[in-house]
Each structure stands twice: as structure tokens, then as C-alpha cells.
Amino acid sequence: MVSVKFITAITLALAATVSAAPASHGHKTPSHHQKLVHGKYFDRFMIVVLENQDYEAVVADPYFGSLAKKHHGNLLTNYLATTHPSEPNYIAMIGGSTFGNDDDSDVSYNEKSIVDILEPRGISWKEYAEDYIPGPNGDCAMDSAQSKNVYRRKHNPFISFSTVTSNPARCKNIVPGSQLAVDLKAKNLPQFMFYTPNMNNDGHDTTLAYASNWTHSFIEPLLANKDFTKDTAVLLTWDESKNYSNTDQVWSVLVGGAVKAKRNNVDNTKYNHYSILATIEKNWKLHNLGQNDANATAFKW
């Protein structure tokens, strides 16, 4: 398990952003020297995905249950995951389809993903995966597990697309989670960020309480940092429900400087994981992938 000392260290790093910044790799990402591609609702979007809990349990947690109101965001009370188990949900978020996947095995799809609609418009992206170890020269690491098994490939959807892993420049945009603090300090955050906690922090191998404590330590310093929150929307969500026999409703919240609070900080609109792509496409006027994103409901602002 990750120690409290380790979590505290990461929290302080994000809060103060004092990490040394190495040279960046891969596609250029916007910084204070570069012009953002402005969107209709937000200029940056981050997704943080946690693991395997029912909506009712999460909303009853003291921290998760109060997060939307505390940060003037919105609780999405009718948000559904796509399927079971974990991996196809992650793939759906960036690919618009599960492509028939119904397990957590290592897969590789020669299909378009969100990357293929962001890059033509010059919109930068990164996958921040905790405890991920890139291959030599920043190549995509195809291992199922790394770093004492707290990283999982199945929770890093970009690795499941050969259209990403066969491209060295794209591989360099899949980085360890610790790179987030570096990019924040350098004012070099990408415009689309997918953050994958490790197997302890996402609650998969621990508990809801552990995931709650980690989320508090991770997201609070970010939301207190004006360089991060300005024109940024953050979706905190869960990959799937714990109970396979229910509707697959998952707790999801939108927070950040770009989010406008609705009445009682609640949005009852029916959404699902495909709504992520629909929202990105609507915000930046992008083509859709021709998958389930084409008819999905975008988040309402």
C-alpha cells in the first residue's frame, strides 16, 4: 500500500509545484509562451477515473458527497458506466466504443481515438498514469503491470490503441503521474488530460475510504491553484459500479473554474462515458469518431 508519507509528498509537490522541470517530449503542449486553442466552455479538460464503487456508497462518503458543493461544481446524478469489467469502460471513454471487449485482457485496436480528433486542431493531450514506466526513449510500455503491480495497463486506455502505440511521438505523451506537477510548475499543461491513479489510490486494491483520502490529497491542491483551475473542467468519475446487477450508475462530478454550478449543484441529465467524447467534440467543434460518441449527450454548461 502507498504510505501516508508518500501521499503527503505528492500533495505538497502539487500544491507548491516545486519539482524540477525536465525537457518536454512529444507533441507541443500549451504553455505561457504558446497560444491555447480556446473552447466554447473550457480550455482544458481533465478526467480522473476511480475504481469499482456503487453510486450510493460514494455519495454517502463525507468527502465525495460534499465535493460538488464545496467547489461550486455539479454532481451528475444520472451518469452510467458502459459495461463490465473495467477495461472496456476506459476504452469507451476515448474510443467511443468498447469494440466488443468484454474482459480485462491486453488488447490492441487499430481504431481512431480522441487523439485523432484533437491533434489535427493542435489541441495537446497527455495520459498521466501513476507508476507507469515508459519504454526506452519514451516508447510505449506494453507491460500489463509495472512498479510492484500498482500500475495496470487495463486502466491506461491509450495503450489499447495501436494507432497510439505505433507512433513514437504519441507514446511520449503517455507519462508517469508525477509529470503532472512538473507540467503545472512549467505552465505547460496539455489541454486534454487523462489521469490514471494506481491500483491503491483508485480504490481497486484498497477501499472507498482510501480512494476518498487519496482524492482529497490529490485534487484539493489542484483546485486551489489558479494556474490549474482557470478555464479548466475536471471530471471525477468511476469506471463501473461494484454491483453487476444494477444499472451501472456511477458517481461523477464536474468541478473547476470553467464549470458553472447548477441549482443545488446537481445535474440530473442522463449521461454515460461516451458523453466525455461528445463534450470534447462540442467544446472545440471537432468531428466525431463515428462511434457511440456521435449520438451521446454532451455535458451541459
Which segments in the chain show pLDDT lower than 70? 1-34
133, 147 in Cβ contact below 8 A? yes
E strands in 122-241: 125-129, 145-146, 151-152, 174-176, 192-196, 232-238
Backbone angles phi, psi at 261, to 5 degrees: -70, 135
Q: What is the pTM of this model?
A: 0.89
Residue 35: its pLDDT value, please? 76
Residue 34: its pLDDT value, please? 54
205 catalytic, yes or no? yes
Q: How many helices (H) and strands (E) does the chain have?
A: 11, 12
Residue 1: its pLDDT value, please? 44
| Cα(139)–Cα(31) distance, integer angstroms | 24
**For the chain, how many residues are written?**
301
Residues with Cβ within 8 Å of 119's Cβ and at least 6 positions away in sequence, in order, are 27, 125
- Which one is catalytic: 54, 205, 267, 293? 205
Listed by start position, the domains of the chain span 4-16+38-295
Residue 37: its pLDDT value, please? 98
Which CATH number does the domain 4-16+38-295 belong to among 3.40.720.10, 3.40.50.2300, 3.40.50.720, 3.40.190.170? 3.40.720.10
pLDDT tens-digit series, residues 149-180: 999 999 999 999 999 999 999 999 999 999 99
277, 252 in Cβ contact below 8 A? no
Burial, 110: exposed, middle or buried (Cβ in 10 Å; 0-12, 13-18, 19+)? exposed
| Cα(70)–Cα(58) distance, integer angstroms | 16
